[in-house]
Amino acid sequence: MHRCFALLLLLLLAATGPALADPDDLSETEERSAKLASMPVHTLLSPAGKQLATSLGVLPQLQKLAELREHRGKKQGEISHLNASLRLELTETILTTMLQCQQVIVEIDSEISESSEFIAAMGSRRDRAIQYNSLASLVANGIVSTTGNYLQMPPNMSQIPGDTMEAGASMLSGCLGAMAMYQQNGEKLSAGIRPNMLAKVFKRPNNELTEYPDIIWTYLNTVPPGSNQSKTRRELLIDSWEKLGRIPSPSEQKGREYTRILSGTIPQKKTVTINMLEDRSAMLADLRAIVGQIYKDLLNLMLVVRAV
């Protein structure tokens, strides 16, 4: 009796419960993974990813992984060992490159932060000077000029004192106006030779702190895939700065001199201004964005390693 009841309950659950998943019915993610796994390596890599893989020297390893995929059913032990070894080597290369990118980005961020601190300090002193100047101008145009007009009013004995005070007030006002225009640019500081991450971009001497890892420097000096120009990423970056008015043309003496100041590769005597620091910060931010694009290509490589 109990056995019949249990059998009846199982039949009831089978009829009313959800159907068991068919092994042939794959989810969308599984279908995509299976499709990627069946595609050739060169179609999985984006143009930029393939370029980076070539620079890193890992393209042959990716192709070897794809070949092992064809023979997974044979010599299972040997194939699995070689497969794991290749994947570990590729992952190590990708991870090392990511850390090298981060090293460059950290140094750029540090220099941007330092420039921002100088800009804030110099801007604060500039604003204070302009405030004092405005107060002095108010005194010149208000109190002194008003006193001069009062002295000209009858029954005063003579207009000479009033005219003199008005002339003095006008002259003082003009001087203060000129000083205010000069103060808008802020003070000018001096600095010694201290190369930053822009130095090597402009082909100027740099030091150990501002040196680029080989793969990052190769990336910057490579023409982007699909570009209709023969210029490298570094050259395109410099062209964009020139078009935006950040720097004069590097082919001119003025441009070469300004790039030396921006990159900190010459002694700077009263050339460190707020405008120059703002240009440097903006250019460092652009450089950081270009270096950061390597992460997209590294992700592409990592996805290919997983797919094959």
- What is the predicted pLDDT for the residue at 7? 47
Q: How far apart are the C-alpha atoms of 58 and 46, rounded to whole Å?
A: 15
Confidence of residue 49 (pLDDT cuts 50, 70, 90): very high
Structure tokens at 16: 């009313």
Q: Distance between CA atoms of 185 and 123, rounded to whole angstroms? A: 9
Q: What is the mean pLDDT of the chain?
A: 77
Residues 138-176 pLDDT 10s: 555 555 555 555 555 555 545 555 455 555 555 555 555
| pLDDT given for residue 9 in this prediction | 41
pLDDT digits (tens, 9 = 90+) for 254-305: 999 999 999 999 887 777 888 899 999 999 999 999 999 999 999 999 988 8
Inter-axis angle of helices 47-56 and 294-307, to 10 degrees?
90
pLDDT of residue 41: 65
Residue 15: the pLDDT is 43
- Whether 78 has a pLDDT exceeding 90, the answer reads no
* 3-class secondary-structure state, position 74: coil
- H/E segment holding residue 271: strand 268-272
- List the Cα angle 102/108/114 in 5-degree steps: 135
Of 33, 26, 196, the residue nearest 113 (C-alpha): 196
Task: Please name the residue that has the structure tokens 């001497």.
Answer: 205
DSSP 148-200: HHHHHSTT-S-SHHHHHHHHHHHHHHHHHHHHHHHHTT---EEE-----TTTT
The one-letter code for the residue type at 276 is: M
In this prediction, what percent of the chain has a pLDDT beyond 90?
44
221, 234 in Cβ contact below 8 A?
yes
**Confidence label for 21 from pLDDT (cuts 50, 70 and 90):** very low
Residues 6 or more apart in contact with residue 53 via CB below 8 angstroms: 45, 59, 62, 301
Is the separation of the CB atoms in 97 and 296 below 8 Å? Answer: no
Q: In the structure encoding, which two tokens stand for residue 25, read together?
A: 């019915």
Each residue of 193-222: pLDDT tens digit? 899 999 999 999 999 999 999 999 999 999
Which region among 25-29, 187-191, 250-254, 276-280 has the lowest average model confidence (pLDDT)? Answer: 25-29
